[in-house]
Amino acid sequence: MKTLINIYFLAFAFFLNQSIQSQKLSAAVESDSILIGNELLYKIDINLDEKQSIVFPDSTSFVPFELISETKVDTLENNEGFIFSKKYGITSFDEGEFIIPKIKVQIGDKFFSTDSKKIKVNMVEVDTTKQGLYEIKPSYGKFSSLELFKLRLKNNYQIILIAIFLILVIVYFRKQIFNFFNPLLNITPSLSPLELVRNRMNDLAKMKINSNHEIKFFYSQLTFSLRSFFEKGVYDRALESTTNELITGLNNLRELKQVSISKNSINRIKEIFNRADLVKFAKFLPEKHIIEQDLKVISEEINIFSRLIPEPSEEQKLKDLNYQKEVINRLRNKRLRIVSFSLTLLLFTIFVLSGFLNGFQYTFDRITFNENVRLLEKPWINSEYGSPGIFLQTPEALTRKNENYKFLFDDFNLDSQFYFSNSEMSLELFVSNYSSKTKINPENFQFVLESKLDDLEEKGLQNILLAFDEFETNNKAKGLIISGSSDYRVSKNNFIPGKYSVIGFLTETGFKTIVLLQHEVRYLDKIGNRILSSIDVLKEEKK
């Protein structure tokens, strides 16, 4: 009897505890079935008389479901106390019936559990009779010349914009540039002393004289023009002589009868030159009619001298023209040397600065448009190869090979193969998807991959060193990698060192492989490591 009483009290205490627990903690789901991959809301409510510390469950508590979202704790106060609520978004990517286990929640220093929930995960049904069907997309072949041209434009748009800007600048300033680099384009025969002094007289006749400064400028130009005329055709020291020395020289020429100049002409010139000296050095200001008269007298004397001085011969004109061409040629060559030196100095300075900042080898490779530098620094493409397949990040999109290209397995079906290489084929990448009618034993998968090494030898690889290791992708997919160093045949008796990587991923219906071959060439290590570090493998959907 005593034993029955004890059992009764124990059962009563247990049910009382369960009743208190259920009053404090409750859980609910919005539905007992979901479609695969859809979100299911799971809500936990806690009723307390007063606030206490609460530790809600973490993401591992919902296994086999995956936690994809959760909300902050929502607190509601009512007459009975407080209600603490929190929502979780969970899902499953596998079809079937699963149980959400009892979820433990710590309230204060005690643990409470929710009831387990049974959830059915349904596969998405697809009725192919109610949707449009399309032809299978053709495999990629070789790119056309137009497509390659568009890709080059897209990848080098900065250089193209700079080139267009420079062309527009050259077109806009073409006249100034031509005149600077080739003065011969504007060469004209030099004027005779008589033509030159007459042009100057015409310019002085058009001049408006309204100030003291303009009067002084007028007489300076008037005497200089006449002295220049005398220098070239009458008296060869006219520019360096004073007024008295010039008049004395003209008188000597008249007495020696070297020039048939009259005494009256010399006196008229002397009078004007003396007046000019007064204007320039004594601030004398003649009347306007005197200024006009002086210009008229000088013009008349020039006409007189033009009849006394013989015209230059054609030989003399040609000699002057050749001399002028020679002078301009020297000017052009001097300008070209200045520009060439300036550009060379500028480019050398840029090269040295870039060399100190980025390294001289890298700077040289950028200047010479090294292909591997361009591949490394251009925007890379992230794409999937196969369905489901392998995600890779590569400098350019891999192309599908329609023919049986390389690396085949006689015992397995090749579903698809993709390929990429640089122009020198010092970097080659193969991505292949294989299917098998029978399931492959994981223990034998290494031997399957080793058979690819025979294909490497057929491609010319020698002295192959092997290393086996596990390979883990970014999404935690496990695979096997065979890698090592080797020598690549580039000609009959010439080899270049390099390395290779053969990576395999075993699936339910076959396997996938990645083969990366690279020579020991600058920047290829960085390209290869970036490709390998970007690998992701998608899981196959269970049917």
* C-alpha angle 52-53-56 in degrees, rounded to nearest 5: 125
- Mean pLDDT across 176-202: 69
Instruction: Flag whether pLDDT at 44 surpasses 50.
Output: yes
pLDDT of residue 144: 61
What does the alpha-carbon distance between residue 401 and residue 421 come to, in Å, rounded to a whole number? 13
Residue 393, strand partner residues: 382
Q: Sign of torsion, CA 251 252 253 257?
A: positive
Residue 117, strand partner residues: 100
Model confidence band, residue 155 (pLDDT cutoffs 50, 70, 90): low
pLDDT of residue 320: 62
**Mean pLDDT lowest for which of 243-252, 296-305, 319-328?**
319-328
Instruction: Flag whether pLDDT at 535 surpasses 80.
Output: yes
Q: Tell me what the pLDDT averaged over the chain comes to.
A: 78
The model carries a pTM of 0.44
pLDDT of residue 132: 45
Query: 182 with 333: CB under 8 angstroms?
Result: no
Instruction: Flag whether pLDDT at 138 surpasses 70.
Output: no
- 371-537 folds as Protein Transport Mog1p; Chain A (3.40.1000)
Model confidence band, residue 13 (pLDDT cutoffs 50, 70, 90): very low
Adjacency order of strands within the sheet including 33-35: 33-35, 117-122, 96-100
pLDDT of residue 99: 84
DSSP E strands: which ranges in 210-311?
none
Higher pLDDT, 56 or 142: 56
- Secondary-structure breakdown of the chain: helix, strand, coil percentages, each rounded to the nearest 5: 45, 25, 30
Model confidence band, residue 402 (pLDDT cutoffs 50, 70, 90): low
Task: Identify residue 486 by its one-letter amino acid code.
Answer: S
Instruction: Flag whether pLDDT at 35 surpasses 70.
Output: yes
Q: Over the range 306-324, which residues count as b (16 or more CB within 10 Å of their CB) and which as e?
A: beebeebeeeeeeeeeeee
Higher pLDDT, 318 or 500: 500
pLDDT of residue 198: 82
**Mean pLDDT lowest for which of 88-97, 173-182, 518-527?**
173-182
Q: Provide the 10 A C-beta neighbour count for residue 38.
A: 14
Q: What distances in angstroms separate CA 503 from CA 19, 420, 422, 514, one per listed residue?
A: 58, 16, 20, 5
pLDDT of residue 92: 85
pLDDT of residue 190: 59
Q: Are strands 40-48 and 25-29 parallel, antiparallel or unpaired?
A: antiparallel
Residue 462, strand partner residues: 487
Question: In the chain, where are the structural domains located?
Answer: 17-122, 154-186, 193-308, 314-369, 371-537
Domains 17-122 and 371-537 are alike in CATH topology: no
Instruction: Flag whether pLDDT at 518 surpasses 80.
Output: yes
Instruction: Flag whether pLDDT at 246 surpasses 50.
Output: yes
pLDDT of residue 4: 46
Residue 511, strand partner residues: 434, 506
Instruction: Flag whether pLDDT at 263 surpasses 80.
Output: yes
Pick the closest to residue 396 from 374, 415, 365 (CA basis): 374
- Mean pLDDT across 376-393: 83
Q: Are strands 54-55 and 66-70 parallel, antiparallel or unpaired?
A: unpaired
Instruction: Flag whether pLDDT at 503 surpasses 60.
Output: yes
Place of tokens 């269970």: 542
Query: 62 with 99: CB under 8 angstroms?
Result: no
**Percent of the chain surpassing pLDDT 90:** 1
**Mean pLDDT lowest for which of 324-333, 343-352, 355-364, 466-475?**
324-333
Instruction: Flag whether pLDDT at 5 surpasses 70.
Output: no
Q: 410: which DSSP letter?
A: T
Task: Identify residue 310 by its one-letter amino acid code.
Answer: P
Q: Over the range 217-244, which residues count as b (16 or more CB within 10 Å of their CB) and which as e?
A: bbbebbbebbbbbbbbbbbeebeebebe
Higher pLDDT, 407 or 333: 333
What does the alpha-carbon distance between residue 114 and residue 103 come to, in Å, rounded to a whole number? 5
Peptide bond into 189 cis (omega under 30): no
- 17-122 folds as Immunoglobulin-like (2.60.40)
